[in-house]
A and B are shown apart, each in its own frame.
Chain A
Amino acid sequence: MTCMIVGGGVAGFQAAATCRALRLEQAVTLIDAENEVGYYRTLLPQFMVGALPEEKLFFRSGDADPLLTMRRGVRVRSLDRSACTLTLDNGEVLTYDRLILAHGGEPFLPGILAGPPCRGIFPVRDLTTARETKSWLADHRKVIVFGGSLVGVKTAVHLSQAGFEVSLVVRRGHILLRALSEDSAAVVEAHLRNLGIEVCVNAAMEDLRIRDGQIDALKAGGRWLSCSTLLVAAGISPDTSFLEGTDLLTDGELVVSPALQTIDPRIFAAGDVAVIASGGEKISPNTWPQAVSQGRLAAENLYRSSPLPHRDWSRINAMELHGLAMVVLGPPLVGAEVISHARPETSVRRELFLVDGKPVGGALIGDISAAGTLHALINAGRPLTLRDAGLLRPQTGNVIRFPEQTGRRKALILSPKRSSL
């Protein structure tokens, strides 16, 4: 009666911890392809550039739990739903009673990198690669970061702060294409340039120049850019190859219900691998907080006769880009109404996207006050009032807009003066 979890990232870890806390008698097995599990993937950029010691990467380890088995360094090769078994790459077959798929995403690598092996090219995703990157970077200080994702931008900033010469090369028209509007991205790009980072947009990867088996230059957007290191942070694509033929995939994606259940009631998914079908929309937030909350919910739902839906599908992401704070409240939508406050002289731009008068996303750049309250408003799913809209003003001090009952308060304050209350 084992609960099996594929993937020892944060979603898998959270799921395992929740399973153990909820069902004290039930054994849990966690399987992960990496040799190390339980680390903060989000801290890899700091680690790579030498700004964070390796021991700070790992989760706190509690007491050893005899009913929690960690299988490291083994990859799941196939799933047999009718027999309820998983086959590992070492040939071992494991039986599950319930299964949580939390195997995250593999870094997306442009086709051009599939050529002959070349030193100095690294994806930004896992600890083993991050260690190699770190030692390579020690004497290869001219770096191109390819990919304008949040990971790419974050990595570029940490490199530049550590004294590397950095170019950020982006395929499309602006950085953070899936997170920010063009206007917000412009504020961030200007800040990156101020930090000394060269930002190249509309620059798809076209060619590589390799010298002595190592990267020497990258041709992107028609221009050759020399470099001694190429870091790829061009997004992720979940590896669903071992699920082929199981009927769990829709167009190659692991699509689940808002309760994170697949079409097989014994199998759930959580974290970066899960694509949630909700209200005709497909959502894959791909954020750390979502991986945590989804991991927990999947574990809670495993034995519920009617699994509960997740309540917060927000794609909140926050970053401190060395002097420029930003919070992404939700991606821009075509056709949405935009309300904004901009103070270009201080690199501040705060905007909300509204659909049918309801806030659905937005971004706070340079001034992140009231971020939590705006997030709560988006979740509330009700039309924005004038009072709410005031939260978007820069330097919002008054973030809780609770309706005041002035009359009541006056009456109550009167009494102590007249008596000894």
Chain B
Amino acid sequence: MKVIGVHMDRCTGCKTCELYCGAERGSEKKTLLAAVQETPPPQPRVRVEGGLDGAFPLQCRHCLQAPCIDACLTGALRRDEKSGMVIIREDLCIGCWTCTAFCPYGVIYPSPKRKIALKCDRCLYMEKPVCVDVCPTKALEVVELEGIEDLLRERRLQTLNVMLANGGEGIRLLDFERSE
């Protein structure tokens, strides 16, 4: 299953992903300039949490045991069999907001004007998620869930090497042993 992975160390909190997600997935006209003038205002499906001392783009985790699917009163929320993504069938959603109270990450957004709930579907029908495409620091990446541990190990090693090459700066703050 492919998901959007976040390199937490790279996010600067610039909210570019939020802006472009809102424009591409939430607006009629699909350009930033037109999107800000639309009513209802386009809503992004990714939210940048945190502040200056650390930011983090958060979108649906596509939980393997998704509480939101169980909660949905109409069957609008379901798992796409092929991709494994948790998606909302907008035509079945009645905007009752039950699912929003069941997502522990708070990443299902009510759209009261459109009377539907919105959430990230990893831009399932597009070549690449918009947020991943536009992130200026490449903090977002589409990763294969199965290979996530390998990826993390590789990244840790890479960071370690860079730090060693820079006189060990920051090394004591990494959460793994030097011996790795």
B47 to chain A, nearest CB (A): 7
A-facing residues in B7-64 (Cβ within 8 Å) = 8-10, 12, 47, 49-50, 53-54, 56, 58
Known: A289-B71, A320-B115. A368 touches B58 (CB 8 A): no
Query: Which chain A residues border B97 with CB–CB below 8 Å?
Result: 318-320, 325, 327, 368, 371
The answer, among B54, B98, B175, for a CB contact under 8 Å with A288, is B98
Query: Which chain B residues border A289 with CB–CB below 8 Å?
Result: 67, 70-71, 98, 102
The answer, among B75, B104, B115, B175, for a CB contact under 8 Å with A372, is B104
Known: A40-B73, A397-B47. A412 touches B53 (CB 8 A): no
Determine if A387 is an interface residue (Cβ-Cβ < 8 Å): no
A379 to chain B, nearest CB (A): 8
Query: Which chain B residues border A312 with CB–CB below 8 Å?
Result: 67
Determine if A411 is an interface residue (Cβ-Cβ < 8 Å): yes
**In the complex the two chains form, is A418's CB within 8 Å of B50's CB?**
no
Determine if A100 is an interface residue (Cβ-Cβ < 8 Å): no
Known: A406-B54, A411-B169, A412-B170. A316 touches B9 (CB 8 A): no
**In the complex the two chains form, is A368's CB within 8 Å of B50's CB?**
no
Query: Which chain B residues border A371 with CB–CB below 8 Å?
Result: 97, 100-101, 106
Stretch of B121-129, B145-153, B158-166 that contacts chain A: B158-166
**In the complex the two chains form, is A318's CB within 8 Å of B96's CB?**
yes
B66-87 CB mask vs A (1 if < 8 Å, else 0) is 0100110111000000000000
Known: A368-B97, A404-B53. A419 touches B104 (CB 8 A): no
Known: A43-B73, A288-B73, A327-B100. A405 touches B173 (CB 8 A): yes
Determine if A293 is an interface residue (Cβ-Cβ < 8 Å): yes
Query: Which chain A residues border B92 with CB–CB below 8 Å?
Result: 56
**In the complex the two chains form, is A372's CB within 8 Å of B106's CB?**
yes
Determine if A94 is an interface residue (Cβ-Cβ < 8 Å): no
Give the number of residues in A that approach B within 8 Å (Cβ atoms). 51
Determine if B136 is an interface residue (Cβ-Cβ < 8 Å): no
**In the complex the two chains form, is A327's CB within 8 Å of B101's CB?**
yes
Determine if B110 is an interface residue (Cβ-Cβ < 8 Å): yes
Known: A43-B74, A421-B158. A400 touches B170 (CB 8 A): no
The answer, among A40, A320, A405, A421, for a CB contact under 8 Å with B95, is A320
**In the complex the two chains form, is A288's CB within 8 Å of B71's CB?**
yes
Separation of A412 and B172 alpha carbons in the complex (Å)? 11
A394-421 CB mask vs B (1 if < 8 Å, else 0) is 0001111010111111111111101101
Determine if A373 is an interface residue (Cβ-Cβ < 8 Å): yes
Residue of chain B at shortest CB distance from A419: B162
Residue of chain A at shortest CB distance from B73: A42
**In the complex the two chains form, is A407's CB within 8 Å of B173's CB?**
yes
Determine if B105 is an interface residue (Cβ-Cβ < 8 Å): yes
**In the complex the two chains form, is A415's CB within 8 Å of B101's CB?**
no
The answer, among B95, B101, B162, B174, for a CB contact under 8 Å with A375, is B101
A8-26 CB mask vs B (1 if < 8 Å, else 0) is 0000000000000000000
Known: A46-B94, A289-B70, A368-B100. A409 touches B53 (CB 8 A): yes
Determine if B134 is an interface residue (Cβ-Cβ < 8 Å): no
Determine if A376 is an interface residue (Cβ-Cβ < 8 Å): yes
A314-335 CB mask vs B (1 if < 8 Å, else 0) is 0011111001010101000000
**In the complex the two chains form, is A316's CB within 8 Å of B166's CB?**
no
**In the complex the two chains form, is A293's CB within 8 Å of B70's CB?**
yes
Separation of A399 and B105 alpha carbons in the complex (Å)? 8
A362 to chain B, nearest CB (A): 11
Determine if B103 is an interface residue (Cβ-Cβ < 8 Å): yes
**In the complex the two chains form, is B47's CB within 8 Å of A404's CB?**
no
Query: Which chain B residues border A42 with CB–CB below 8 Å?
Result: 73-74, 96
Interface residues of A (CB under 8 A from B): 40, 42-43, 46, 56, 59-60, 288-289, 292-293, 296, 312, 316-320, 323, 325, 327, 329, 368-373, 375-376, 397-400, 402, 404-416, 418-419, 421
Q: Can you report 21 residue pairs joining A to B where beta carbons are below 8 Å apart?
A: A40-B73, A288-B73, A288-B98, A289-B70, A289-B98, A316-B98, A316-B101, A316-B102, A320-B94, A325-B112, A327-B100, A371-B101, A372-B108, A397-B47, A398-B49, A399-B106, A400-B106, A411-B170, A412-B159, A415-B159, A415-B169
